[in-house]
A and B are shown apart, each in its own frame.
Chain A
Amino acid sequence: AQSVTQPDIHITVSEGASLELRCNYSYGATPYLFWYVQSPGQGLQLLLKYFSGDTLVQGIKGFEAEFKRSQSSFNLRKPSVHWSDAAEYFCAVGATGTYKYIFGTGTRLKVLA
């Protein structure tokens, strides 16, 4: 069955520290992968997406993600976190050729000043 796992429910980092949020997926075909960010009380904003080609994807707000097919992972990274990055982050996979998008349960990021 198709699924997305975000193993970390909460992560706390200090401002200026590096960040890595984990995402593992289970999908039989080539996945179509996304990271979204949700600030408190807001909708979901797309950070970046992977559909083919270069496995290192650059997104908005200084984020990047690396697709590793051998590990079924699509981890999100940022070299230096800002206080404004505090939010909830969702990984999702689009089942290619269908209507279906499967979301992980989210990782809530707290940033310490």
Chain B
Amino acid sequence: NAGVTQTPKFRVLKTGQSMTLLCAQDMNHEYMYWYRQDPGMGLRLIHYSVGEGTTAKGEVPDGYNVSRLKKQNFLLGLESAAPSQTSVYFCASSPGLAGGSSNEQFFGPGTRLTVL
């Protein structure tokens, strides 16, 4: 199993450009998440999905959109990139709600995005 994979690994954008980050998981997990990681701020949740066809806002959703058309994929879109979106983006998946011996989050390797 590949686990959680992210594409691309690195990207440099100019202000105003758009791009899509792809997350894929092969564990048949229901829940998927997008986080951003900034120095001294830990991980902050951008959007999440509780199943195919569903999405919801996290704590920092502004400037981002997401889609979950297939259970295994969770896409994060930036329609008009801004320098404040320079960050490392992590995707994660989990089998279900927090709690229980088997539920935990599995993380992808991250995408490092720079917006000039």
Residues in A lying within 8 Å of B, measured CB to CB: 4, 9, 32, 34, 36, 41-46, 49, 51, 90, 94-101, 103-106
Contacts and interface: CB of A to CB of B under 8 A. Distances in A.
Interface in B5-60: 31, 33, 40-43, 45, 48, 50, 56
Contact of A99 (B50, B100, B101): B50
B81 to A, nearest CB: 22
Interface residues of B, number: 26
Contacts of B4: 43
27 contacts: A4-B42, A32-B99, A36-B107, A41-B110, A42-B110, A43-B4, A43-B90, A44-B43, A44-B92, A44-B107, A45-B107, A46-B104, A49-B104, A90-B42, A90-B43, A94-B98, A94-B99, A96-B97, A97-B99, A98-B97, A99-B31, A99-B50, A99-B56, A99-B97, A101-B98, A101-B105, A103-B43
Contacts, number: 65
B69 to A, nearest CB: 19
Contact of A51 (B40, B100, B110): B100
